[in-house]
Structure 1
Amino acid sequence: MIAHISFAVSDYARSKAFYRAALAPLGYTLVMELTPQVTGSVYVAGFGDGSAKHADFFIASAPPGSKANDPMHVAFWAKSPAHVDAFHAAAIISGGNDNGAPGPRAEYGPDDYVAFALDPDGHRLEVWYMKPV
């Protein structure tokens, strides 16, 4: 079980806007934000889908004098193929890049529907719908 995922980004404001738009179709919203006065050095934005009392996905500004982490891969569950489509469209419109158009992925499973996008820092995002059994 994963409690949360967090990584540094090169442009906090740009990435916060990107994730607000790209994750909205999945029901994720900005649920918390911390300033350097609170964290001691960086801005932090926490996103969640409202099913828990806390955020499970975080971005943070890179600490002064450092760079954002190497690109990462993060996968999010979707509730339907339409949510996968909406995520991909929102990601592209809000400054991301296509990294795999929405569609069936038979190599994952017979009913799996997936899309990939790159965020403004090149982090690879996957949104995956798996038909309930």
Structure 2
Amino acid sequence: MFDHTGIVVSDLARARAFYDAIGKPLGLVTADNGEQAFIFGKSKAEPIPYLWVGTLRPSYWADGSRTGVNQMHVAFVAPSKDAVDAFHAAGIAAGGTDHGAPGPREGAEGYYGAFLLDPDGNNIEAAFRDNLPYLHAS
């Protein structure tokens, strides 16, 4: 679990279309956060954790950093294997690249996940863990 994290993208509209598409099967939504950013998370009622996505250069970036140089990895909790499958299909349809088809992963009991590269090359994952039911409680 995380409070928040953020990534810088090169094309906000393209990124928004991708995150809108993968959010639907995971129960996540995007919300405006100014003209150059949006927030990706659960809802106004449950604002944390969230992913900040924008075109601004963060003040914390080290010299030499730029979009796509330091690939980010973010894994989102999926409520089911079907949601992982839908996440992967929606991401591909919205301009993402397959980086690991949906399925179990060796060495991770009860884990079912899928990996996509977003339009800027960030590694975005959806993970369902059937051995951790508290992750799926309403």
Give the TM-score range, shorter chain: 0.7 to 0.9
Pairing of 1:26-65 with structure 2 (within 5 A): 26-35=26-35, 43-50=36-43, 52-54=46-48, 56-63=50-57
For 1:47 and 1:106, locate their aligned partners in 2 and report how far apart those are by CA, in whole Å: 29
Identity %: 41
What is the RMSD of the two structures over their aligned residues, measured on CA atoms? 1.8
Aligned length: 123
Q: 1 CA distance for matches of 2:5 and 2:47?
A: 16
In the TM superposition, 1:4-23 aligns within 5 A as 4-23=4-23
Shift of 1:67: 3.5
Is residue 91–residue 117 contact of structure 1 (8 Å, CA) maintained in 2?
yes
Runs of 4 or more consecutive aligned structure 1 residues displaced over 4 Å after TM superposition: none
TM-score, length basis structure 2: 0.81
Any stretches of 5+ residues in structure 1 without a counterpart? 36-42
Q: TM-score, normalised by structure 1?
A: 0.84
| Structure-to-structure mapping, 1:1-133, within 5 angstroms | 1-35=1-35, 43-50=36-43, 52-54=46-48, 56-63=50-57, 67-69=66-68, 70-109=70-109, 111-131=110-130, 132=132
Aligned residue number for residue 40 of structure 1 = none
Deviations 1:76-124 (A, max 9, x none): 1101000000000000000000000000113112x21010010000001
| Unpaired stretches in structure 2, ≥5 consecutive residues | 58-64, 134-138
